[in-house]
Amino acid sequence: MEITEEKSKEIQPHSLENNITKDAKYEMKEPPLHRRIRYAKQICMFFAATVGHFNLGMSLVWPNLLASDLQTCNTTLFGDEIHMEDWEIDMAGSVQFIATLPGFVFSGWVVARLGRKMSMMLVAAPGVIGWTLIFLAINSTMILTGRFITGLSFALLGASVRTYLVEISDTSIRGAAGLTTEVMKGLGGITVIALGMIFPWYYVALICLCHLVFYGMLVVPLLPESPTYLVVHHREEKARQLLGHLRGRHVNLNDEIKQLKEKNSDSDLRSACSGVFTRAVFKRCLVIFGLFLISNFCSTEVIKANALRMLQSSGLALEKDVSTILVFVLLVSGNVTQALISDKIGRRKCLMLSLVLVMVAYAVLGAYTFIYSTEVDVVLLDMEVNITSVQDDVSYLTGMSWNWVPTVCLMTAAFAISLGIGPIPWLLSVEYFPTHIRSQVMSICNSVGNFFSFASMQAYSPLQDLLTPAGLYWSYASFAALGIVYTFFIVTETKGEVIG
């Protein structure tokens, strides 16, 4: 039967509407300038909320500064000498992660009960106590205790900020929003190394203390509450007003609020606690646990706390602070690249690319370190050569200058880690679950992830002794290879999905 022109006009818009997503329909109606302005507002909120992660980045990298200072001038603020064994240096980096085990369990319920904004403000309280202890430390016990207390602070920071970011952002830029935390951590890491070139470790601790006060007392109070949290807690009028600013007037707010309610309908039928312990949630938790295991034993956190020691164990081409800063510049570069491409190519492809690069970088570094250490042994057997001079001049041993390899390999590994396997497990731990259980389940996942971080960092020195540095790097490459297979078969994509 021939279709009349009038009927054709009625059918075409309907068929077109069926082939585009709801978000795309709104974007077609919204002028590009308005959309850019909205995105600019959201990005400003992203960076304001993640100012605390700048402090977290400083804290994660601070053990590099401590280790470096103890080699050259091991005095405290009060002029007392302080000595720390290798296991204590390892503990200075890892104790924060063990503190997050109770911290995340507690913080998940705090974020769900008090809201995202209030939880972000509370971050400053334990953080200030911890950094004060470190600043005034006269022995290793005070340093480790302070690091433990700051770990409690950062557990609350992670649970509140990551939840907040995915709930205020548009679906089309949600990946970039979640990865803002990693960019800020990377910038914090670079900053603390730069500050360490000017100030001793205890004054840098004081700067970190002041920064955390600035975040909790001045920055967070300027931010609005999460609209998703407001909807779930039946404060729809305020949520509607905030969503109007975040999504623009071209979005059907009734549909958005209705969708949020549907995604979180279980919160009205059963407690969030029972919602956590379901088969579907447990299966997704297992996927996240596996990613965190692979991530940490690919050196995701080890490289941040021990970049200087890793470079020194492999030989250096450049001055130690310069080499360390270059590694952290590549960490930030990887984060920025990930933020730009994550919402375009998806989480799984970013993970695969990241793991391939990590595997290659550590395989090469392991091979170089093996050859380097073998030649050092040969020279020391044949000649009475001072070990310091040997380590300072690898070209003396090899006949050619290859001592740039460790820095380049660690820079490549740092970039690759930040490109996917470092940040994406944290992002998926938020995106995999709906609002009414998000903070609680994310806290469980992050507790397990931080346990793996503690284990990998505390095992750094023992594994070096057991496997040799070359063997340790090859183990990182092996876990990266395992991660490629795991991602291909197990990890599901969340790009563009409405998470509720």
Sorted by where each starts, the structural domains of the chain and their CATH numbers stand as 26-223+264-489 (1.20.1250.20)
**Rg, C-alpha atoms of the chain:** 25
Q: How far apart are CA 326 and CA 190, in angstroms?
A: 9
Cβ atoms within 10 A of the Cβ of 492, count?
11
Q: Which of these ranges, 9-13, 75-79, 469-473, has the smallest mean pLDDT?
A: 9-13
The mean-pLDDT minimum among 131-140, 314-323, 403-412 falls in 314-323
- State residue 10's pLDDT score: 41
pLDDT average, residue stretch 301-330: 70
Residue 392 or residue 175, greater confidence = 175
**For residue 81, with 0-12 CB atoms within 10 Å meaning exposed, 13-18 middle and 19 or more buried, which class applies?**
exposed
> Mean pLDDT across the stretch 184-199?
88
Which residues, other chains included, contact 367 with Cβ-Cβ below 8 Å and sequence gap of 6+? 470
User: What token pair was written down for 207?
Assistant: 């700067």
Return the SS3 of 78: coil
239, 230 contact by CB (below 8 A):
yes
> pLDDT tens digit string along 80-114?
888 888 888 888 888 888 887 777 777 877 888 88
Per-residue pLDDT tens digits for 263-309? 665 544 444 555 566 788 888 899 999 999 999 999 888 888 777 77
